[in-house]
Amino acid sequence: MTRDSKPDLLKVEGLKAYYQMNYYGVEREVRAVDGISMNIKRGEVYGIAGESSSGKTSFIKVLAAAIRPPLKVVEGTVKYEFKNGPIEVTTASKAQVEDVRWKHLSYIMQGSMSVLNPVRRIGRTFKDFAQRPLGLTGAAFEARVVSHLARLKLPPEVLKAYPHELSGGMRQRVTIGLATVCHPEFIIADEPTTALDVVVQKEVLSLIRDIQKEMDSSVVFVTHDMSVHANIADRVGIIYAGRLVEEGPTRQMFFTPRHPYTAHLVASLPRIGDTTQRPALEGRPPNLADPPQGCRFHPRCPLAVDKCRQEVPPLETVDVDHRTACWRWQDVKPLVGSAHPAGVMA
Amino acid sequence: MHGYLLFVGKRALLMFAVIFFGISAMFLVTYLSPIDPVEQVLGRLSARSNLSPEAIASTREALTAMFGTGQPMHVQYWNFWTRLIQGDLGASLMAFPTPAMELVMRGMPWTLGLLLTSTVITFIVGNLMGGLAGYFQNNRFFKAFGIVTMGLQPIPYYIVAFIILVIFGFLWPVLPISGGFSMDVRPSWTMPFILSVLQHSLLPAFSLVLVGLGGWFIGMRALVSNIVTEDYVTYAELAGVKRETIVSGYVMRNALVPQVTALAMVIGGVFSGTIITEQVFNYPGMGSLLVDAVNAGDYSTVLAVCTVSITAVAFAIFIVDLLHPLLDPRVRTE
């Protein structure tokens, strides 16, 4: 693939971000992100998967430079190499972050129903969001927005509408339009398809893909829906209990997972014609205020041995671009025997 | 636009219905009341002079004809409405034969002026401060402001009013404590008179604002601290939208919708609230007039005061109602 030839746009190194709370003198620390390292190339779509409360939302909050108490970056760096210069968002000043926002780094937020101000016309919202980063005013700005909306198959009348006058699909396209109108280099998409039905979902996914290709942006795509990842991501990273447990090219992740958790995630997908019960994992994700020793997956892992209970497995490279954090990765077998795991388009 | 006109029409109809039923209820109460206006006037007249029994009988006849109390209820009701529409509510009994409406019209500018300004000031200051306090939750100034207004809130109004009276009237006598204007200026549109009116209205207005602030402040702060966690606010912050735009256009603007609805309800209560204000500060408005009229058994003046306040409150609520769809596009009828 062309991936190797492209430079890294984002470098995350040893990132630890904790929720530090103090309730009437009782200290509490939730280790939502606990030592994640990863790189994302220019023009790459990187899918992040993980179940609820695995720390994926906290992780992308840090990526989006939306770090607010009680969330705190304890260790590590998050460095972007934007065209106008590098920026390390965990230490950058407010003004520096404001400088890259929307023009270089933009965000598609979860829940298109509630991300638009209900008492403001869409056109006003576009002005609020994009006028400053684009540096355009009046007719030039309007023309730019209208042509961008046309690309998203939205008529210019949308600008005069209030959010409640649009359908769910249109609203989602409007938020994608808002996030991409400035042609950002890096787009963070947090569950952009979760509340939509499959038809609109497909439309939105191909839209994000098209725009990403056209602008050669990088996209970090977060969803717990593995079939969405199968359709859109170049690479997929799996987060479990605040740690990256496996990452690799999408096809390899589905066909030859090297972490028992990934194997189970993939196996949980339904397949047409298969009526056997899916293999399920016992238990639930660990409490991040008090995570288990060693590999955090060991209490639920069918392959766990003593070593897993004591020592934290490092991320090991097992193939080109494929890394996993499992002591027994060689023993991990795909749980579904078929040559076509669900969701992957042949 | 067509939809909005339809909405205005519906609300106007509702307003007229409220006024009609309010005034009818008031008529019924006075009709059932044991006080007979004819006897009231007669009592007053005979207390001052020696009248022969024949004179009393003929006066009684004349008064009964004038008040129309001898007629059956439905005729009285009909006469009441036809005269009311002409603005005639009969002669005041305590200031006989001045028309009651004239007394009310004399008091109305004072009451309306005091109420409108203090309600508007309270609404704006309370909501602005509450909104900012909700957005900048760690700001010390807003925290302190909140403690003071919330501390004042539970104290009964008349006590706060008396404390203000004592502080600014006796301990530190800088402001007039009684009346609507100084004795030495003549009521006219001249600078000295206007200044005198403003000076005299400061204390009553201040007391009303002080007591009213807490409610708006607490309500707005609670609304805003909910709204700042809404996705559209977080998203605008993530997009680097200017902070002033977020506070005014995203946070306050959305919180204003329920607050304006609440304003309509508060207006309903201010007319009765002003009675105490005008008593404490001896202000020459409709509240003082009402108290005097009740004490004197002057039922036509009581009727006039009530009619005017019912109409004014219904009209104010109507105006606030019309603002609502302009503030919230979601209730606009297309």
Give this prediction's pTM: 0.78
Give the closest-approach CA distance of B327 to chain A in angstroms: 8
Provide, as residue numbers in chain B, all residues whose Cβ is less than 8 Å from the Cβ of A101. 238-240
Task: Say if B101 falls within a structural domain.
Answer: no
Among candidates A66, A114, A119 on the partner chain, residue whose Cβ is nearest the Cβ of B329:
A119
B281, part of any domain: yes
Q: Which amino acid, one-letter code, is at B233?
A: V
Closest by CA position to A101, among listed A131, A77, A133? A133
Domain residues for A76?
Answer: 2-104+184-271+279-331
- Answer yes or no: is A231 within a domain: yes
Residues of chain B found within 8 Å of residue A110, distances taken between Cβ atoms: 231
- C-beta atoms of B240 and A164 within 8 A: no
B240, A132: Cβ pair inside 8 Å? yes
Q: Look at residue B95 and tell me if it is in a domain.
A: no
Q: How many CB pairs under 8 A join A and B?
A: 66
A178 and B239 within 8 Å at the Cβ level: the answer is yes
Q: Please give the span between the terminal C-alpha atoms of chain B, in angstroms, as a whole number.
A: 8
Which positions in chain B have a beta carbon within 8 angstroms of at least one beta carbon in chain A? 230-232, 234-242, 245, 249-250, 253-254, 257, 327-330
pLDDT under 50 in chain B at which residues?
A: 334
* Contact between B253 and A120 using a beta-carbon 8 Å cutoff: yes
Q: How far is residue A322's CA from residue A319's CA, in Å, rounded to a whole number?
A: 5
Which amino acid belongs to residue B181? F
Question: What residues of chain A lie within 8 A of the CB of B253, using their CB?
Answer: 117, 119-120
Give the 3-state secondary structure of chain A.
CHHHHCCEEEEEEEEEEEEEEEECCEEEEEEEEEEEEEEEECCCEEEEECCCCCCHHHHHHHHCCCCCCCEEEEEEEEEEEECCEEEECCCCCHHHHHHHECCCEEEECCCCCCCCCCCCCHHHHHHHHHHHHHCCCHHHHHHHHHHHHHHCCCCHHHHHCCHHHCCHHHHHHHHHHHHHCCCCCEEEEECCCCCCCHHHHHHHHHHHHHHHHHHCCEEEEECCCHHHHHHHCCEEEEEECCEEEEEEEHHHHHHCCCCHHHHHHHHCCCCCCCCCCCCCCCCCCCCCCCCCCCCCCHHHCCCCCHHHHHCCCCCEEEECCEEECCCCHHHCCCCCCCCCCCCCCC
Q: What is the chain B residue with the closest CA to A117?
A: B232
Instruction: Give A109's contacts in chain B (Cβ within 8 Å).
Output: 231, 234-235, 238
Q: How many domains does chain B divide into?
A: 1
Residues of A within an 8 Å Cβ radius of B: 64, 66, 97-98, 101-102, 106-107, 109-111, 114-120, 124, 128-129, 132-133, 162, 164, 178
Cβ atoms of B85 and B73 closer than 8 Å: no
Q: Check B238 against A101: CB less than 8 A apart.
A: yes
Looking at chain B, which residue has its C-alpha nearest residue A175? Answer: B235
Asked, for residue A145, whether it belongs to a domain, the answer is: no
Residue A337 has a pLDDT of 54
For residue A116, the distance in angstroms to the closest alpha carbon of chain B comes to 5
CB contact under 8 A, A129 and B245: no
Cross-chain Cβ contact A109/B242 below 8 Å = no
From the list B231, B237, B328, which residue is nearest A119 (CB)?
Answer: B328
Q: Do A119 and B242 touch (CB under 8 A)?
A: no
Give domain status of residue A16, yes or no: yes
By CA distance, what is A96's nearest residue in B? Answer: B240
Taking contacts as CB-CB distances below 8 angstroms, the residues of chain B near A178 are: 239
Domain that holds residue B139: 113-285
Amino acid identity of residue A219, one-letter, is V
Pairwise CB contact (< 8 Å): B238 & A107: yes
Q: Is residue B85 part of a domain?
A: no
CATH of the domain at B261: 1.10.3720
Shortest distance between the Cα of B137 and any Cα of chain A, in A, equals: 13
Q: Least CA distance to B256: which residue of chain A?
A: A119
Q: Which of B232, B238, B330 sits opposite A164 (nearest CB)?
A: B330
A178: in domain: no
Question: Could you read off the pLDDT tens digit of each residue along chain A, which spans 346 residues?
Answer: 444 567 888 999 889 988 888 878 788 888 888 888 999 998 899 999 988 778 888 898 888 888 888 888 888 889 998 888 888 888 888 888 888 888 899 888 877 678 899 999 999 999 999 888 888 888 999 999 999 898 888 999 999 999 989 888 888 889 888 888 888 899 998 888 777 778 878 888 888 888 888 888 899 988 888 888 888 889 999 998 888 999 999 988 888 888 988 888 888 877 777 777 777 777 777 888 788 888 888 888 888 888 888 888 888 888 888 999 888 888 887 776 544 444 444 3
The strand order across the sheet containing A26-41 reads: A26-41, A8-23, A71-82, A85-88
| Residue A136, in any domain of the structure | no
**Residues of chain B found within 8 Å of residue A106, distances taken between Cβ atoms:** 239
Closest to B236 (Cβ–Cβ): which among A110, A128, A133?
A128
| CATH code for the domain of A231 | 3.40.50.300
Q: Indicate the residue of B235, B253, B328 with minimum beta-carbon distance to A109.
A: B235
Per CB-CB distance under 8 Å, the chain B contacts of A114 are 230-232
Least CA distance to B227: which residue of chain A? A117
Our count of domains for chain A comes to: 1
Mark yes or no for CB contact B239/A129 under 8 Å.
yes
Q: Do A109 and B253 touch (CB under 8 A)?
A: no
